[in-house]
Amino acid sequence: MCDTVVLVTEGRVLFAKNSDRDPNEAQLLEWRPRGEHPPGARVRCTWTDVPQARRTHAVLLSRPFWMWGAEMGANEHGVVAGNQAVFTRGRVGPPGLTGMDLLRLGLERAESARGAVEAIIELLERHGQGGACGHEDPRFAYHSSFLVADARGAVVLETAGRWWAAEDVAGARSLSNALSIPGFAERHSDVVRTWAAEGRIRRALTCAAAERASGASDLMRLLRRHGRAGSGAEATRGPAYRWLNGAMSAPCVHAGGLLAAAQTTASWVSELTAAGARHWATATAAPCTSIFKPVAVDRPLDLGPAPTDRADERSLYWRHERLHRLVLADPERRLPFYAPDRDALEARWLESPPDPAAAFALGDERLAAWTAAAASVAGRDVRPWYARRYWRLRDRRAGLAPRATPASGGTPSRVPAR
C-alpha cells in the first residue's frame, strides 16, 4: 500500500510519499552515482535484466532491502517519483520488471518528469511487468501507478499490465491504491481488492489536505495523519484499527488486520523550484513517530550496514523500531512525551536545513532520548487483540526481545522541546 501526493503551484512543486509494506521489511536510503555504460550492457533488476542505458543519472533511492527497485526517490536533475500498488482485473505476469524497478529505471534515465514517464512507458511496453512484490507473502503481486514531478510540474501514470494512461497534474493530486484516471479506472480496476485496500478513502483525505498545503511542513503533517477523511484527527490521536485490514484508512498506515496488513515503512517529502530541490526523508518507519531529516542526491551518507528483516542495533531503521513499537502500543500517552522536541527540531531544519550528516547524527542522539522518555510511561497495550497478536508475531520474527512494561507509580520523563 502507499500514498503519494503532489501540489503544483506557480514556481514551486511539493511532493510527498508514504511507502507502506510489511512491518519487518526494512527500507534503506541508497545513493547511486551517475554512470557510463558500454554498448550491449545489461542491468539486473529485482527478477530480470534489461538493456542498460549508455548513461545513468545519480539517484537517491528509498528501497526495500531485498529489492533492486525503489519505492520513491530523486535524481540529480530534480526529478522525484513515487509508486503504489494498484489492483487490476488483469493477471500479473511472470517474473519481470516490478513497479519499483520501473521507478528506479525512470529516475536513472531521465532529466525531467515527462522524460521519466516516457522511459517507464517504453520499458513497460517492451518488457511488461510482473513478479513477486511482497516480502512476507511471495505470492503477493500487483501492477503500479506512478506520480512523477519536477520543478515544472507533475504527471500521473497508471498501468494495468502493458496498458497505461497518463495525465498532467494541475493543482493538488494524490494517488493511493486505486486507479483514478477516468475511463482507465473503470476498464481495469479490481473493485473488491481496491475496496479492501481502502485506497479511495485515503486518496480523498490526502487530496483534500494537499489542496490546503502551503509548504513542506504541511505535507509532513499530512503523512502523519491517522484520521479518516473529514474527521480532522491528527497523529497524536492514534490509529483506528479494524479487524479486516488494521489501520489502513489513513495515510499513516499501521498494520494489524486479520486479512490484510501493511505498515508505513518509510516517508519522503520534496520541495522543487527552479533554484533547486530540497528533500527530507525519515529513513525509518511510521512518520507519526519519526523525524524528517534533510537529504541530498549529491551528499551520500554512511548510515551503517543496510538493514534486513532482523533486528540490528547497528541499523537506524531498527533502532527506531524500538521507539516505534513501544509508542504504537499506546500512542496517545507516549507520543506526547517527545513529540514537541521532535517537532521543534524539525521546524528548525525546515527553516534552515543543516548538513545532512549533522542532521542524522543529531537525530540519532535525540532518538535515544525519545526512546527513554517513551519507555518511562507506564501503561497497557490499548490496541485490539488481533493487532496485539499480529505485532507479537512480527517481533518474534524480527528477533526483538519482549518489551518490559514500565513500572507504575513513577514520574515519566518528558523530553523538553528545544
Q: What is Dmax (Cα atoms) for the chain?
A: 70
d(CA 150, CA 2): 20
d(CA 133, CA 141): 5
What residue type is 5 in one-letter code? V
Sheet holding 12-21, edge to edge: 171-175, 2-9, 12-21, 263-273, 276-281, 293-295
Catalytic residue among 2, 45, 207, 252: 2
Look up 2 and say whether it is catalytic.
yes
Cα distance between the two ends of the chain = 35
Q: Give, in order, the Cα–Cα distances in Å from 72 to each of 75, 100, 135, 272, 415.
A: 11, 8, 17, 15, 32
> Dihedral sign, CA of 222, 207, 216, 99?
positive
CA-closest candidate to residue 14, choices 213, 201, 180 = 213
CA-closest candidate to residue 147, choices 122, 180, 124 = 180
- 195 contacts: CB under 8 Å, gap ≥ 6: none
d(CA 306, CA 62): 12
d(CA 1, CA 5): 14
Q: Give, in order, the Cα–Cα distances in Å from 137 to each of 23, 48, 104, 127, 186.
A: 12, 19, 23, 24, 28
Is the separation of the CB atoms in 92 and 141 below 8 Å? Answer: yes
The cell numbers describing 68, all together, are: 533492486
- 104 contacts: CB under 8 Å, gap ≥ 6: 45, 59, 61, 63, 68, 69, 70, 73
CA-closest candidate to residue 67, choices 91, 90, 95, 86 = 95
Residues annotated as catalytic (active site), given as ranges: 2
